[in-house]
Amino acid sequence: MAREIHRGPSTLYRVATFPVEVAKLPFRAFGAGLRETLEWIETRPPGGLLPRIQLWFAVHGLSPQVGSLGDHSGIGGGFTIEVPDFPARRVSAEISGAITNKLYMEHSVGLRWQPAAPVVVYGGARFDRNTRDEFYGIGDDVPRSLRSDYQRKEWGAVTSVLVTPAAGLAIRVGADWLSTEVDPGRNEDIPDTHDLFSADSLAGLVGVQRFVRPFAEVRWEGREPSGDPLAGGWAALRYAFYGGTGETPFDFHKIYAEARGYLPLGGLRRVLALRAMTELTRPSDKGIPFYALSRLGGGSTLRGFRAGRFHARDAVLLSAEYRYRVWREHRGRGGLDMVLFLDEGTVIQRFPADVSDARFHEDWGIGLQAAVRDVALVRLELARSDEETLVRIQLGARF
């Protein structure tokens, strides 16, 4: 979690950590029936190989991970090592790396210092690579036929201070240095963005852009419980200024605001979850690279559309979910939820002036979500829009 909050305003952390025996399970299942596999794993005498492996991981602070790194990224794995009290007391070092079969990557190294209970200072570096981000053009009505992909590589170094002045309230300020480069996409089935769009028509398509990005963020956490909410709410307001350095011809501001509310409806566990989100991108005295525009589509926004389906300066999104528990773990801290959801949103050039003329896009769907110890762990979703029907597996909570 510390890694997520320190990485910067636009990065989602989606690699889930599983016990090592769960990660191994599918591989053994190829060679034997599932029943025999489970029996083999679970009937080891005490002191057998598996407990030793688990103990080794626990002692060395290493967490193996499986999952994905976002829409279209495929399936992969990685690790995180956390070393407490290194190199000094109250300082911890963490190193993580993850890669998927489609060569998406997220690597980072950092130091976290906690001089007092409500203050955490973080400094670190990272490298991310998305090999097949998609782009269709700018606007709320661009055709699907313009589907293309590009590869985005980003280096970063960040320092930030996180302060929690009151329970549920977190304020973070900091700055990072970013270096972003756009290359041809790796998806051979669709055209490359460079083939459909020219450097003249699409800002940021060629070259390396470097930014210094000061940012500030306020978050309020009022969900009960936070990992699988039944009641309460959550809100975030983020601001960042992307100042181009050297020959980078871009300067812009980004404002992101999101509010979530949860209404308990009784029964075993029925809840109505609502979300409103807007992201505004405003140029300063220079332009905005296309990959930094606000976007909709994908598992975290408009779920019936592919990730990156709509791009423009501003985006508006409303989501509603009806979640109801169909299976409750006996202690009541986990179970299986059915989910019915509805998303509506659009991208526009200027909020709120263009909202009335914008074309809003809708989708709906159903899902099945598993929660363990009050944390939503994994979700299977089927989402449908007027363009297509998509099935996704999501690790972690939707909202």
Partner 1 sequence: MLPMARPFCTLLRSPGAVALWLLGAWGCAARPRLEVALPNPPHSDTMPIAEPGTRFVSEAYDLVENNFFDPLANLLDVPEHLGRARGRPREAANLNAWDDVEDSAWFEHRNGVRPMTPEEIVRGPNTGTGPDTSAPWTIVSGGAAGITPKFTIRDVRGNRYIIKFDPPDYPELASGAEMISTKLFYAAGYHTPENTLVFFDPAGLAIDPKVTVVERGLVRPMTQEDVRSLLRRVGRGPDGRVRALASKFLEGRPKGPWDYEGRRADDPNDRYEHQHRRELRGLYVLAAWLNHEDARQGNTLDMYVGEPGKGYLRHYLIDFGSTLGSGATVPHSRVDGSEYFFDLGNIMRRAITLGLYRASWEPVADRPVHPSIGHFTAEGFDPAGWKPTYPNPAFAQRTARDAYWGTKLVASFTDEEIRAAVRAAGYSDPAAEDLMLAALLARRDRILRHGFHIVTPIESPEVTYDSAGTLILRFEDLAVRYGLVAREQRSYTARLKHAAMVIERSTTGRVEADGRGTVRFEGVKLTRPLPAEARGRVATLEIVALDGEGRGRSTPPANVYLLLDPATRRYRVAGLAH
Instruction: Of 219, 197, 198, 211, give the one whose Cα is nearest residue 252.
Output: 211
Of the pair 56, 360, the CB lying nearest partner 1 is at: 56
The piece of 53-61, 101-109, 153-161, 390-398 that touches partner 1 (CB under 8 A) is 53-61
**For residue 52, with 0-12 CB atoms within 10 Å meaning exposed, 13-18 middle and 19 or more buried, which class applies?**
exposed
With helix as H, strand as E and coil as C, how does 264-286 read? Answer: ECCCCCEEEEEEEEEEEEEECCC
User: Which one of 4-12, 55-63, 237-245, 280-288 is the stretch in contact with partner 1 (CB under 8 A)?
Assistant: 55-63
- Region of 30-38, 68-76, 139-147, 175-183 interacting with partner 1 (CB under 8 A): 30-38
**Shortest Å distance, C-beta 305 to partner 1:** 26
Stretch of 107-115, 199-207, 268-276, 343-351 lying at the interface with partner 1 (CB under 8 A): 268-276
Using CB atoms within 10 Å of the CB of residue 289, give its burial: 0 to 12 exposed, 13 to 18 middle, 19+ buried: buried
Among 324, 344, 364, 392, binds partner 1 (CB under 8 A): 324
- The answer to whether 33 contacts partner 1 (rule: CB under 8 A) is yes
Q: Does 31 help bind partner 1 (rule: CB under 8 A)?
A: no
Nearest residue (CB) to partner 1, 269 versus 313:
269
Nearer to partner 1, 31 or 33 (CB): 33
Residue 88 interacting with partner 1 (CB under 8 A): no
Residues 168-227 that bind partner 1 (CB under 8 A): none
Stretch that binds partner 1, among 191-199, 230-238, 251-259, 323-331 (CB under 8 A): 323-331
Q: If binding is defined by CB under 8 A, does position 329 make contact with partner 1? A: yes
| Phi, psi at 103, each rounded to 5° | 65, 20
The interface with partner 1 within residues 335-364 (CB under 8 A) comprises 336, 338, 340
> Is the peptide bond between 87 and the residue preceding it cis, with omega within 30 degrees of 0?
yes
SS3 321: strand
Instruction: Evaluate whether 2 touches 122 at the Cβ level (below 8 Å).
Output: yes
d(CA 237, CA 247): 30
In Å, what is the CA distance from 362 to each residue of 115, 301, 339, 341? 47, 11, 17, 11
Q: Which of 49, 59, 117, 167 binds partner 1 (CB under 8 A)?
A: 59
Q: How far is the CB of 373 from partner 1 (least distance, A)?
A: 14
Q: How far is the CB of 59 from partner 1 (least distance, A)?
A: 4
**By CB under 8 A, residue 47 contacts partner 1:** no
Tell me how far, at minimum, the Cβ of 123 lies from partner 1, in Å: 28
Among 12, 26, 32, 58, which residue interacts with partner 1 (rule: CB under 8 A)?
58
Q: Which long-range contacts (CB under 8 A, 24 or more apart) does 268-271 make?
A: 268/324, 268/325, 268/328, 269/230, 269/323, 269/324, 269/325, 269/328, 269/335, 269/337, 270/322, 270/323, 270/324, 270/325, 271/229, 271/230, 271/231, 271/322, 271/323, 271/324
For the chain, where are the alpha helices, taking DSSP H only?
Answer: 2-6, 20-31, 34-42, 49-60, 193-196
Which of 30, 42, 166, 189 is in the footprint of partner 1 by CB under 8 A? 42
Site for partner 1 in 303-322 (CB under 8 A): 322
The residues of the shown chain that bind partner 1, judged by CB under 8 A, are: 33, 35, 38-39, 41-46, 55-56, 58-59, 267-270, 322, 324-332, 336, 338, 340
